[in-house]
Amino acid sequence: MGGFCDRFISEHIEPHTMTYNGYENFDTWCAVSWLTNTQKEYDIATIQLAHLTAQGIKGDDLKLKLANWFKENLQTRADYVRRLYSDPEKAYEQIIIDLMNASIERINWFEVADAFLDE
């Protein structure tokens, strides 16, 4: 990019804090929603939390371990999608992977863990 695009981004997008429904961004809100929204997902996360607390993990260490667990959980699902859309003959499918990867990179996993711990 150059010229107009760079100037537009620096003047209109970068200075603004983007939040969504009380979360850092849409991607974080979406991860919280999908990873804890159904009873099955919530129960699985609750079992993981119980497992961590039974090991005596608490405070910031608990939040870090839970954040990493949520991230690994979503990465496992993302790996499945990557395999599903990995046909090099279908270059148009790559946009799905690129958008998914970019979204996952923007997720604030500590905020995901906080949201679950606050419930």
pLDDT tens per residue, the chain (119 residues)?
Answer: 455 555 555 555 544 456 888 899 999 999 999 988 889 999 999 999 999 999 999 999 999 999 999 999 999 999 998 888 877 777 777 888 888 999 999 999 999 999 999 97
Give the pLDDT confidence score for residue 18 in this predicted structure. Answer: 65
| Sequence letter at residue 112 | V
Domain boundaries, position 93: 26-118
List beta partners, residue 20. Answer: 23
Q: Any idea what the Cα angle at residue 14 is, between residues 26 and 104, rounded to 5°?
A: 35
Give the pLDDT confidence score for residue 67 in this predicted structure. Answer: 97
Residue 107 maps to a domain: yes
Residue 3 maps to a domain: no
Give the pLDDT confidence score for residue 82 in this predicted structure. Answer: 87
Residue 19 maps to a domain: no
Residue 11 maps to a domain: no
Q: DSSP label at 17?
A: P
Residue 1 maps to a domain: no
Q: How far apart are CA 93 and CA 87, in angstroms?
A: 8
Q: What's the pTM value of the predicted model, to 2 decimals?
A: 0.79
- Here the tokens at position 109 are 């996993």
Residue 61 maps to a domain: yes
Please, are residues 67 and 113 in contact by the beta-carbon 8 Å criterion? yes
Residue 13 maps to a domain: no
Instruction: Give the number of domains in the chain.
Output: 1
Q: How far apart are CA 110 and CA 95, in angstroms?
A: 27
Residue 21 maps to a domain: no
Give the pLDDT confidence score for residue 95 in this predicted structure. Answer: 82
